[in-house]
Structures are given as structure tokens and as C-alpha cells.
Structure 1
């Protein structure tokens, strides 16, 4: 990529982070282009769809969550690995209002620009869940799809102003419903 094109792409992503933080996933592409000091056509050359723009914004974070799952699989107990990863993913979704709906839709759409990253995160969570189930510390009656659905549901809930202050409590309740035999969750 030419230096000026790379500079434009980087500027668009930097501005998009700010605009998305202010307006969520429904942020105006035109507003992002204007604030980045480029034309809408330039933005669309780099990111032809809203999903492509979000892939550019989110892939670094989603890839980091996937790598973290790999690290947690070998560095800590199965239940703690799942708990830590679950909390990190919910915290990530809180940083990008409206992104969980995009992730939920992209998860089953191979044509989506977000598909590969969402599928990798989904697979990482499923592996962590299976490991916890194998060790007997997670419910046996759920699978990776259920886990992903619960995370996106929780991400949506804590995205709502009325539930946001209770995010930690909701994460606690949800993880205690998933994990068994943990002190304080009523499943021991």
C-alpha cells in the first residue's frame, strides 16, 4: 500500500474509534470521512462496507481475545480460564456500543467482513467451555453456540444505559450460571 493510502487508512481508523465511541455502531460513515479529512469515496475504497470498517477497527481486539484464550488454556485452571476470557470479551463489547449485534449477525454469515474474526472468537470460547466441561467445572448441557449467544445477550444488556451500571453483577450472575462447583455460586 502506498504511504499516503496507508496514512489515510490509519487516520480513518483512528477517527472511527472516536466516532464509534460517541455514536456506537450506527456512526455515520460520512461523518467519519469528514472528521478524518478524507472524502467518502476514499473511506469506501479502504472500507467498502460498515462491516469492513468494523473489521478494521475490531480485528486487532478480536485476534487478541483469541490469542488470550490460547494462553489461558495452558496457564490456568479451566474454570478460571473461561471466567477470565468471558469477562474480557464482555469488557471489549462495552467499548464498542452496538458491536454485539454485528458480531452476532456476522458469526453465521461467511460473506461478512467480520466473519473470520467472530468465528475465531467463537471457536476459542467453545474450546475453553469444552475444557471446563471436561474438568467438570462448567455445565454439560451447553455448547459454544450457547456460550456465544449468552455473551452477545449480556453484551447487548450492558450496552443499555439502564443496565450498564450493573455490568459486573450481570457478568457474575451469568458466569455462575455457566460454571459449576465454584464457591458462592450455589452450584457446589
Structure 2
């Protein structure tokens, strides 16, 4: 989609197609990684290949939208947890959300690291990286102020732990193991008794 086309509001049918493409892409990228067939994404969305390419001229443009939408949802969940839970519980619930997201995206991180064209997706999307780090930092700060998390833990440490758990468990397709590993990590960030 050209820059001027992005600035114009989409017609109702075009908006619906766009949303169906993004939803299908989220499912396919989670299942098959970034190499998922664009034609299969179009088929699952109920649109033609030309419609997909009109909205997303490259695989990368579709990946960026999917990644951005997921980051926005995670940041929204962080705000919800902060509003409705104690500081320690909010952080732990959000880390579980992040772990679930990472498990659902199994293979995506490795695909991004090994595909030369898309390996810098996270680096080019600094606003997403900043948003997720800020969400983690805010929850962490509140939990540290409440004394439920060690003072030496950093937001980047928590994000690296969840990412590492995702990378270690992605070949096993074992969400239970990912959750056990997160529980071990959570025990490690609690203050000593």
C-alpha cells in the first residue's frame, strides 16, 4: 500500500479484507513462521492474492503489522493488569501473557533471526520495542516498589528470559514446559526471604 493510500480511510469492504488478512496472517505466522505461504494466507482470509498484495506489497509489510498489533495487545494487557491487580500479581500475570504470546509465536523469533531479509524486523520497529520495554518497566517498577521483586532485576532481563524460554521450547511444541520454565524464572526474581 502506498503512503498516500495508508493515510486515506479504507472503504468498509477494504477494511474488512485488511482485517481478515491480518487475522489469517497471525494464525499462519504462529503456526508456520515467517515463511508461511502468502497465497494460503489470502485463501484463509477469503481474498485473492492481488487483494493481499494491494494491502501488503511485501511479506515484511505484513509481518510488521502483525508484530505491531501483537505488541499493542500486550501493552494493553499490561495496563489492564496494573489497573486491576496488586503490583506483584500484575507483573506476574503479564509475564504469563508474554510467555503465552511467545509460545503462540513459536518459530517466529528463530525465523526472523535466520531470514536475512527479515532479521532486522525488531530493530527497525523501535517504537514496538520501546512500547513493550516500557510496559515491562512500569509493571516491574511497581512490583519493586511493593517489595515483591528483587531491586536488581531490569525490564530487559525479564524480556530476555521470556524470549529465551520461547527459543528453548519452540522445537518441542510444549507449552507446559514453557510455563514451568517461567515459574522457575519467576521464583528467581522474587526477593530472598
Scaled by the length of structure 2, what TM-score is found?
A: 0.74
- Taking the TM superposition and a 5 Å limit, the aligned residue runs for 1:111-150 are 111-112=124-125, 115-150=126-161
Residue aligned with 2:161, SS: helix
Equivalence for 1:38: 48
Equivalent residue number for residue 54 of structure 1: 63
User: Which stretches in structure 1 are left out of the alignment for 5+ residues?
Assistant: 181-186
Q: CA deviation at 1:96?
A: 2.2
For residues 109 and 129 of structure 2, the distance between their equivalents in structure 1, rounded to whole angstroms, comes to 10
Q: Where does 1:49-88 land on structure 2 (aligned, <5 Å)?
A: 49-88=58-97
Q: Deviations over 1:54-79 (max 9, x none)?
A: 34334444323212222333432222
Q: Pick closer, same or farther for the CA change 1:173–1:18 going to 2, 3 Å.
A: same
Q: In the alignment, is the contact (CA less than 8 A) between 2:74 and 2:97 conserved in 1? A: yes
Specify every segment of 5 or more residues in structure 2 that has no aligned partner in the other structure, as ranges. Answer: 1-9, 114-118
Q: TM-score, normalised by structure 1?
A: 0.76
Structure 2 residue 169 is matched with structure 1 residue 158 = yes
Matched, 1:16 2:16: no
Judged with a 3 Å threshold, the aligned counterparts in structure 2 of structure 1 residues 168 and 9 are, in CA distance, closer, same or farther, namely same
Q: Deviations over 1:156-177 (max 9, x none)?
A: 2232216544122111001111
Q: Which of 18, 27, 30 is the matching residue for 2:36? A: 27
Q: How many residues align?
A: 177
Structure 1 residues 117, 48: CA separation in 2 closer, same or farther (over 3 Å shift)? farther
Residues 106 and 118 of structure 1 are in contact (CA less than 8 Å); yes or no, is this contact kept in structure 2?
no
